[in-house]
Amino acid sequence: MKSLSIAATGMLAQQLNVEVISNNIANMNTTAYKRQRAEFQDLIYQNIRRVGSTSSDAGTIVPTGVQIGVGVKAGSVYRISSQGNLTPTDNTYDLAIQGEGYFRVTLPTGEDAYTRAGAFQLDATGQIVTTDGYPLSPAITVPQDVRDVSINTQGQIEAFLDGQTDPTVLGQLEIVRFFNKAGLEARGSSLYLETPASGAPVAATPGSVGYGTLLQGYLETSNVDSVGEITNLISAQRAYEMNAKVITSTDEMLSVASNLR
């Protein structure tokens, strides 16, 4: 009976679904986390009687046929990149992107990575870095005798130095966009890597056409909807239980058949 293996694929699919939902819930408070959603596809079909085949020498056509599906498979787990809420932090180097775009950082390997988690800090040399110490690109260094740092919505960084009344421009921040941001590869630590599916990054100053603006002293929160995730979790649990019930019912049917005298 195919129902045993079919129900098993259903249970595996819902197991994956619950794993995706649990990861979303676990990252409810992760800065700039983008929730994920699992999508499923039906597996191949066995043609017991092929639709459209001729059923007689007179040329009559089978209108529907008999096709038996063999279960379900995971199609994709895609990222939903909607904007999270912006929360104030009063930290000078915290930055939130309001709209489209990613910050670019340089990994120790020299490879570029991309993030929307703008919880930046200064390292021992005054360079703006992530919480893991990866420098922001293009690199910005803040001098030691700085009194205050201001970052406007277009990403220009100005510093007020000791003994000076006029601000000094330290540099210009850039953000990047991807044609298919869902194609980015999640690396962990709120970082993403470019892939052939995402396309090449296109850099511009914040506030350019199609690009978001920056807010100093703010961070973007996760876009996870706790109520929606709990609802999805209940639905996945019920679907898992129904597939398990199919296996139980099939086992009972096989038991009846094997006990025939």
What is the residue extent of each domain of the chain? 3-81+225-258, 86-220
Report the pLDDT value the prediction gives residue 60, as an integer from 0 to 100.
83
pLDDT-derived band at 261 (thresholds 50, 70, 90) equals low
Q: For residue 219, give the amino acid letter.
A: L
pLDDT-derived band at 49 (thresholds 50, 70, 90) equals confident
Report the pLDDT value the prediction gives residue 44, as an integer from 0 to 100.
86
Report the pLDDT value the prediction gives residue 66, as an integer from 0 to 100.
85
Report the pLDDT value the prediction gives residue 1, as an integer from 0 to 100.
78
Report the pLDDT value the prediction gives residue 236, as an integer from 0 to 100.
95
pTM: 0.85
Confirm if 215 and 153 have CB atoms less than 8 A apart: yes
pLDDT surpasses 80 at 87: yes
Supply the mean pLDDT for the chain.
Answer: 92
Residue 103, SS3? strand
pLDDT in tens, 185-241: 999 999 999 999 999 999 999 999 999 999 999 999 999 999 999 999 999 999 999
Nearest of 64, 71, 16 to residue 44 by alpha carbon:
71
Measured distance CA(147)–CA(124) in Å, rounded: 17
Report the pLDDT value the prediction gives residue 153, as an integer from 0 to 100.
94
